[in-house]
Structure 1
Amino acid sequence: MSDKGEKVIAEIHDIHNTPPGEWSLKRVLPDTGIPWYKRRHLLLLNLGMIIPYLSSTTNGYDGSMLNGLQSMSQWQNFFGSPTGTRLGSLSNGVIFGQILAFPIAPWLCDHTGRRFPIFIGSALLVIGAILQCAAQNYGMFLASRMIIGFGGLIAVEASPLLVSELAYPTHRSVLVGYYNNLWYLGALLAAWVTYGTYFMGPDASWAWRIPSLLQGFFPLVQVVFIYLLPESPRYLVQKDRYDEARKVLTKYHAGGDENSELVDFEMKEIILHIQASKSASRTGYREFLSTKGNLHRLFIIITVPCMMQLSGNGLIAYYLHLILNSIGLTSDPQQLRINGGLTVFNLGVSIILASFMEIVGRRRLFLFSTVGMLTCYVIWTILSAINEQRDFHDTSLGTGVIFMIFMYQLFYNAGLNGPPWVYVTEILPTHLRAKGTNIMQIAATCVILFNGYANPVAMDAISWKYYIVYCCVIAIEIVLVYFGFPETKGHSLEEVSMIFDGEKAFGVASEKENSAVV
Structure 2
Amino acid sequence: MPLSPRLYTFLCGSVAAFGAALFGYDLGVISYVTVAPNFLSVTGLEEPTTQNENYLGFIVSSMLLGAFAGSVPAGLIADKFSRRFSIVIGGLVFIVGGILQTAAASKGMMMAGRFFAGWGIGSLGVLVPLYQSEIAHPSQRGRMIATFQFSLGLGAFIAGWVAYGCAQGSPGTALQWRLPLAFQMFPAIPLVSLIYLLPESPRWLMIKGRQEESLRALARLHASGNIEDPFVQGEFMEMRSKVTEEASMQASWSDIFRNRTNARKVLLGVILQFSVQMTGVSAIQYYSPRVYSAVGFKGNTPLLIQSINNINGLAGELLCILFLDKVGRRIPLIGGNIISGICFAVCTGLAKQFATGTTSSRGLGILFVAMTFIYNNIFSSCIGPLSWVYPVEIMNTGIRAKAASLTTMASWLANFMIGQVSPIAFAKIGWRYYLVFTVCSFTNALTFYLFFPETKGRTLEEMDSYFRDNHWIVPLARVQGVSVSEREQQLAHGQTTAVLPHESKEEPVVYEEKA
Identity of aligned residues (%): 26
The 1:348/1:38 distance shift into structure 2, 3 A limit, reads farther
Give TM-score scaled by structure 2 length: 0.87
Give 4+ residue runs of structure 1 displaced > 6 Å after superposition. Answer: none
**2:131 touches 2:201 (CA, 8 Å); kept in 1?**
yes
Residue in structure 2 matched with residue 20 of structure 1 by the alignment: none
Residue in structure 2 matched with residue 66 of structure 1 by the alignment: 30
* Equivalent residue in structure 2 for 1:114, among 83, 86, 89: 83
Q: How many residues align?
A: 473
Residue in structure 1 matched with residue 12 of structure 2 by the alignment: 48
Offset of residue 392 of structure 1: 4.7
Offset of residue 476 of structure 1: 1.7
Residue in structure 1 matched with residue 246 of structure 2 by the alignment: 277
**2:130 touches 2:401 (CA, 8 Å); kept in 1?**
yes
Spell out the pairing of 1:36-185 with structure 2 (5 A cutoff). 39-79=3-43, 80-81=45-46, 83-185=52-154
Runs (5+) with no aligned partner, structure 2: 470-496, 511-515
Structure-2 separation of matches of 1:51 and 1:38: 18
Residue in structure 1 matched with residue 360 of structure 2 by the alignment: 393
Residue in structure 1 matched with residue 394 of structure 2 by the alignment: 427
Residue in structure 1 matched with residue 306 of structure 2 by the alignment: 339
The 1:344/1:282 distance shift into structure 2, 3 A limit, reads closer
**2:79 touches 2:250 (CA, 8 Å); kept in 1?**
no
Offset of residue 330 of structure 1: 2.7
Offset of residue 417 of structure 1: 1.6
Say whether 1:452 aligns with 2:419. Answer: yes
Residue in structure 1 matched with residue 501 of structure 2 by the alignment: 507
Structure-1 separation of matches of 2:32 and 2:198: 34
**1:363 touches 1:485 (CA, 8 Å); kept in 2?**
yes
Residue in structure 2 matched with residue 358 of structure 1 by the alignment: 325
Say whether 1:480 aligns with 2:480. Answer: no
Say whether 1:328 aligns with 2:322. Answer: no
Give TM-score scaled by structure 1 length: 0.87
Task: Letter of the 2:428 partner, please give it.
Answer: A
Structure-1 separation of matches of 2:298 and 2:374: 22
Offset of residue 413 of structure 1: 1.9
Offset of residue 197 of structure 1: 0.9
Structure-1 separation of matches of 2:33 and 2:228: 56
Structure-2 separation of matches of 1:200 and 1:96: 33
The 1:102/1:183 distance shift into structure 2, 3 A limit, reads closer
Structure 1 counterpart SS, 2:399: helix
Offset of residue 505 of structure 1: 4.4
Offset of residue 210 of structure 1: 0.8
**2:355 touches 2:430 (CA, 8 Å); kept in 1?**
no
Structure-1 separation of matches of 2:170 and 2:448: 49
Say whether 1:256 aligns with 2:229. Answer: no
Runs (5+) with no aligned partner, structure 1: 1-36, 514-518
Structure-1 separation of matches of 2:498 and 2:201: 24
**1:174 touches 1:358 (CA, 8 Å); kept in 2?**
yes
Q: Structure 1, residues 74-108: CA drift from partner, whole Å, max 9, x if none?
A: 32333323742111110122123224324311110
Offset of residue 291 of structure 1: 3.0
The 1:454/1:473 distance shift into structure 2, 3 A limit, reads same
Instruction: Give the CA RMSD over aligned residues.
Output: 2.1
Structure-2 separation of matches of 1:389 and 1:454: 22
Say whether 1:266 aligns with 2:230. Answer: no
Structure 2 counterpart SS, 1:429: coil
Structure-1 separation of matches of 2:247 and 2:192: 33
Structure 1 counterpart SS, 2:421: helix
Structure-2 separation of matches of 1:349 and 1:442: 25
Residue in structure 2 matched with residue 226 of structure 1 by the alignment: 195
**1:361 touches 1:488 (CA, 8 Å); kept in 2?**
yes
Residue in structure 2 matched with residue 305 of structure 1 by the alignment: 273
